[in-house]
């Protein structure tokens, strides 16, 4: 009787232990999948942040090239560079055909050609070696004579041969490593610099269309004017006009600066005065930014330094 009752109990314990083991295995698998997903998410976010940062750096270079403001003074943090990348993305979305692709292609084709040739060579070598298994085995036996591990049965000549082979191998690696590192650094630098170059070209296109070319500022509209604009049908065949964004900077109701907005970051704004060509980067920590419809009267030498108060 004891044996008959103990047998089902042992089987039940075995089932429970097997079930627990399966549950633990499933839980471990889920943890591994979760960690892998988190790692992939972090990698994607890091790559996107890097690309946006490099695009913003290219926009800062475009500001220095077009307006003469040193690019180091335009941004103060990585978040500012990510914010500047918006201008490159806007230029890409709204004016892709006007971007100058020549400098980008001239800089991109040498590393792209090198990568393509290297990939083709590796695939060709693998495809060739796949059908040469007998020759590979023969080559392995020959290489063991020079690079194999020494054994007690080796003669003096075999030991000298293996020592010379290993020494020559390490010497060749040490000799060629600096050149490989230099080549890798050059390729990586060129590949990374493509993104800022694209940001620079996109920034130039944006500044040309929305800062330099417009003849008027964007009007300051009331609520009723905004409601009317939304209800008016667009005229067919009319070319869209892109007005410039113009603002005035006030401190205690006194006008500090006025001009067209080139770029703005979290703590500063770059203004362009089209009549004189003056460009200023102004910190906005203690200033009030007010949109204006006209900067001509405020740009004249005898204009008042106070903004008119609204009735």
Task: Say what the pTM is.
Answer: 0.62
At residue 283, the pLDDT reads: 92
> Among the CATH numbers 1.10.10, 3.30.70, 2.30.30, 1.10.3470, which is that of 215-223+243-311?
2.30.30
- For the stretch 116-160, pLDDT in tens is 777 777 777 777 666 666 666 666 666 666 566 666 666 667 666
At residue 189, the pLDDT reads: 77
What ranges do the domains of the chain cover? Answer: 2-94, 98-212, 215-223+243-311
At residue 141, the pLDDT reads: 65
pLDDT < 70 stretches in the chain: 1-32, 95-112, 114-115, 128-156, 158-166, 230-241, 297-311
At residue 305, the pLDDT reads: 44
3-state secondary structure of 270: strand
């Amino acid at each position: 009787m004891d044996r008959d009752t103990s047998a089902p109990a042992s089987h039940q314990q075995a089932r429970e232990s097997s079930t627990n083991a399966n549950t633990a295995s499933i839980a471990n698998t889920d943890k591994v999948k979760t960690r892998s997903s988190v790692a992939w998410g972090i990698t994607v976010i890091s790559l996107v942040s890097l690309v946006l940062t490099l695009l913003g750096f290219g926009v800062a270079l475009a500001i220095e090239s077009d307006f003469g403001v040193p690019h180091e003074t335009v941004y103060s943090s990585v978040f500012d560079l990510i914010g500047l990348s918006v201008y490159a993305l806007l230029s890409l979305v709204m004016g892709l055909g006007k971007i100058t692709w020549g400098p980008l292609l001239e800089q991109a084709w040498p590393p792209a050609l090198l990568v393509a040739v290297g990939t083709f060579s590796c695939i060709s070598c693998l495809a060739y070696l796949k059908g040469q298994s007998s020759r590979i085995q023969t080559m392995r036996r020959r290489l063991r004579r020079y690079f194999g591990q020494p054994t007690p049965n080796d003669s003096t000549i075999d030991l000298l041969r293996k020592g010379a082979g290993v020494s020559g191998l390490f010497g060749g690696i040490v000799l060629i490593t600096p050149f490989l590192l230099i080549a890798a650094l050059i390729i990586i630098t060129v590949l990374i610099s493509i993104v800022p170059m694209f940001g620079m070209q996109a920034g130039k296109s944006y500044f040309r269309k929305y800062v330099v070319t417009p003849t008027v500022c964007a009007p300051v509209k009331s609520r009723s004017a905004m409601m009317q604009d939304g209800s008016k049908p667009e005229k067919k065949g009319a070319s869209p006009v892109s007005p410039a964004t113009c603002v005035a900077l006030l401190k205690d109701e006194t006008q500090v600066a006025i001009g067209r907005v080139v770029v703005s970051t979290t703590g500063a704004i770059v203004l362009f005065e089209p009549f004189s060509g003056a460009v200023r980067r102004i910190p906005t920590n203690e200033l009030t930014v007010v949109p204006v419809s006209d900067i001509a009267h405020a740009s004249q030498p005898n204009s008042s330094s106070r903004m008119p108060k609204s009735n």
